[in-house]
Amino acid sequence: MAKRSTPELNASSMADIAFLLLTFFLLTTTMDQNMGMPRRLPPLIEDEQEKPPEINKRNILQVRVNSMDLLLVNSKPMEVQLLKDEVKVFLSNPRNDADKPEKEVKNIELLGAVSVGKGVVSLQTDRGTSYKMYMAVQNEIMKAYAELRDEYAQQSRFQSTYAKLTEEQQEAVRGVYPLNISEAEPRDKGKKGR
């Protein structure tokens, strides 16, 4: 029997095709980027004996999440879904209640003299808190700030949603509701609160 030779495939264009496919997928694929959460850090204390500034207790909304994912707001149990509304009422203090943040008049560019609250949301978790619960609490706090800013933008002289404002106008609205979140280091399960 005569031995038949197998015909060779012309693979000279395979490298070109592979390169084109690789280029196509690189250009059309979006990559998720890890984005941090914006937080204002306290000033660096150079002298260890120097104490941080005192904050009036009425200006702090204490949000705690324990290792069993139970949420406490000012030492009272609360469902995560109710946190956004609690934060909004606390930060806006519409009736100027004595147990909610003090207000001071600030001169904000584009808005003039505006009453601004001194509220701070203090968040602390246990080391055993689940990531899911931590993110749910963070999301509710950020939703509260977003809604307050949006409502203020619509009721102010801008009369537009926060997202449609110019960068300067958004900065002015952020001056009325600055992002004041204090996040303490997670506690160990067995240790008592600070």
Asked if residue 126 lies in contact with residue 186, where contact means CB atoms within 8 angstroms, the answer is yes
pLDDT: which is higher, 75 or 10: 75
Q: What confidence score (pLDDT) does residue 44 get?
A: 65
Q: Tell whether 165 is covered by a domain.
A: yes
Q: Tell whether 36 is covered by a domain.
A: no
Q: By percentage, how much of the chain surpasses pLDDT 70?
A: 84
The H or E element containing residue 64 is strand 60-65
Number of helices (H), then strands (E), in the chain: 4, 7
Q: Which domain holds residue 103?
A: 57-183
Q: What is the Cα gyration radius of the chain?
A: 27
Q: Tell whether 121 is covered by a domain.
A: yes
132 φψ region: left (φ > 0), alpha (ψ -120 to 50), beta (else): alpha
Q: Tell whether 120 is covered by a domain.
A: yes
Q: How many CA atoms lie within 13 A of 187 on its CB side?
A: 14
Q: Tell whether 98 is covered by a domain.
A: yes
Range in 27-41, 127-141, 164-178 with the lowest mean pLDDT: 27-41
> Is the full-model pTM beyond 0.85?
no
| DSSP SS3 for 34 | coil
Q: What is the DSSP letter of 181?
A: E
- pLDDT tens profile 5-61: 777 777 778 888 899 999 998 888 877 666 666 666 556 666 666 666 677 888 999
Asked if residue 53 lies in contact with residue 62, where contact means CB atoms within 8 angstroms, the answer is no
Q: Work out how many domains the chain is built from and give that number.
A: 1
Q: What confidence score (pLDDT) does residue 193 get?
A: 46
User: CA angle, corner 116, sides to 151 and 171, nearest 5?
Assistant: 60
Two tokens, residue 144 = 């509260």
- pLDDT tens profile 57-70: 889 999 999 999 99
Q: Tell whether 135 is covered by a domain.
A: yes
Q: Tell whether 16 is covered by a domain.
A: no
